[in-house]
Amino acid sequence: MHAAVADRDVRLDVDLPAGQVLGVLGANGAGKSTLLALAAGLLRPTAGAVTIAGRVVADARTWLPPHGRRVSLLAQEPLLFPHLTALENVAFGPRATGAGRRAAAALARERLAQVGAAELAGRRPGQLSGGQAQRVALARALAPDPAVVLLDEPLSALDVEAAAAMRQLLREVLRAARRTAVLVTHDLLDVLAVADAVVVLEHGAVVEEGSTLEVLTRPRSGFAASLAGVNLLPGRLRPDGAVIVPPAAPVRAGTPTAGPELVLHGLVDPACRAGAAVAASVAPRAVSVHRDPPGGSPRNTVPVTVLGLEQQGELVRVRTVTDGGHRLAADITPTSVAGLGLAPGMRVLLAVKAAEVAVYPA
């Protein structure tokens, strides 16, 4: 599937190779729902084109309605027809595309078995649990043999146990048949379990794309960094290998940036070039917090203001902001928090060794 569109302030350019599952990530309002709506035929592009399985389904001259696109949608809620049995719900798609009653019923039984729901064939939606209903909804989405399956946060309404089982089922079903799918999610586990590749959307545009492993181990956007749980600082590489990090972009247009540049030292990927844009990332657990300049060998020491403290399992996450407006986090022990007397508004120093800072092309 390829979509290059302009809609209001949204511009999307996304390629999805056949047989892959693409994870789509981004904050609320980033454009994820717009992407699905364009693929499903629920929204017309004002420019560009939507191409599915080599066929243009929407552009300036072409408009193929949803039922003609060979696209299925699995949403947060199962949205099963309440007056039909599970078998009849799954058979509805094939029947709508011209299959006979017996053929549609046979296909429905096959799809229900495929998702581990064969014993639910005679039940109505009101007799199903949330996880069971979502399995039936998945069978219904697969029954018409779609070219693309659109998954709109399909696990968000399930409890933890049902979501884990459904996540494993999606992985098995989609990969076994090499189904092409687009998965919109906010959950890191969904991405790790199901997606082959990832795109990150911000303000209606693609800001990052690549394999799931690449995006989560070398994030280049703030959203991907927060999902991966690392601090991210964008900058430019100096000839001596140091990274110059300018003040953070203003929150609002016309608001001036403030604060000094940061100079960071780290392990530089050989692909980086002097003067080019790079990203520096560091895990919060590699960051230490000090009231006074630390001794020893940390090459990176950054003055910050404490914004807040959060429990993170056995550790406490210290959220801070630099004088240049960059948000940084450090994970330290409760004993260290008490010993330092940390509180919001306090000025402290963050220190990290150069060996803990990964520097790679932005």
pLDDT for 77 equals 92
* Whether residues 184 and 52 fall in one domain: yes
146 pLDDT more than 70: yes
* Whether residues 23 and 169 fall in one domain: yes
pLDDT for 8 equals 56
Asked whether residue 91 is assigned to any structural domain, the reply reads yes
| Cα–Cα distance, 292 to 58 (Å, whole number) | 61
Asked whether residue 221 is assigned to any structural domain, the reply reads no
pLDDT for 45 equals 86
* Whether residues 201 and 243 fall in one domain: no
CATH code, 260: 2.40.50.100
| Residues 285 and 246 sit within 8 Å (Cβ to Cβ) | no
* Whether residues 192 and 304 fall in one domain: no
% of the chain at pLDDT higher than 70: 94
* Whether residues 250 and 154 fall in one domain: no
pLDDT for 53 equals 85
pLDDT band of 10, cuts 50, 70, 90? low
Last residue of a domain, one of 182, 215, 248: 215
Last residue of a domain, one of 187, 215, 243: 215
Number of domains in the chain: 2
* Whether residues 191 and 257 fall in one domain: no
* Whether residues 291 and 195 fall in one domain: no
Q: Which of 3-7, 45-49, 173-177, 222-226 has the lowest mean pLDDT?
A: 3-7
* Whether residues 208 and 245 fall in one domain: no
pLDDT band of 54, cuts 50, 70, 90? confident
CATH code, 81: 3.40.50.300
* Mean pLDDT score, 131-149: 94
Asked whether residue 222 is assigned to any structural domain, the reply reads no
User: Which of residues 263 and 97 earns the better pLDDT score?
Assistant: 263
* Whether residues 194 and 259 fall in one domain: no
Q: What is the pTM of this model?
A: 0.83
* Whether residues 124 and 69 fall in one domain: yes
Q: Is 346 exposed, middle or buried (0-12, 13-18, 19+ CB in 10 A)?
A: middle
| Cα–Cα distance, 335 to 346 (Å, whole number) | 17
pLDDT for 5 equals 59
pLDDT for 13 equals 83
pLDDT for 115 equals 94
Asked whether residue 224 is assigned to any structural domain, the reply reads no
pLDDT for 186 equals 86
Q: Which residues are within 8 A (CB) of 66 and not within 5 positions of it... i.e. 6 or more apart?
A: 40, 41, 42
Over residues 156-191, the pLDDT tens digits come to 989 999 999 999 999 999 988 889 999 999 888 999
| Cα–Cα distance, 128 to 143 (Å, whole number) | 19
Distances (CA, A) of 191 to 21, 41, 135: 9, 25, 19
Asked whether residue 87 is assigned to any structural domain, the reply reads yes
| Cα–Cα distance, 265 to 352 (Å, whole number) | 9
Q: Which residues are within 8 A (CB) of 46 and not within 5 positions of it... i.e. 6 or more apart?
A: 5, 6, 7, 8
The total of other beta-carbon atoms located within 10 Å of residue 234's CB is 20
The domain of 272 spans: 231-361
Over residues 210-269, the pLDDT tens digits come to 999 999 999 999 999 998 999 999 999 999 999 999 998 664 445 455 678 999 999 999
pLDDT for 291 equals 94
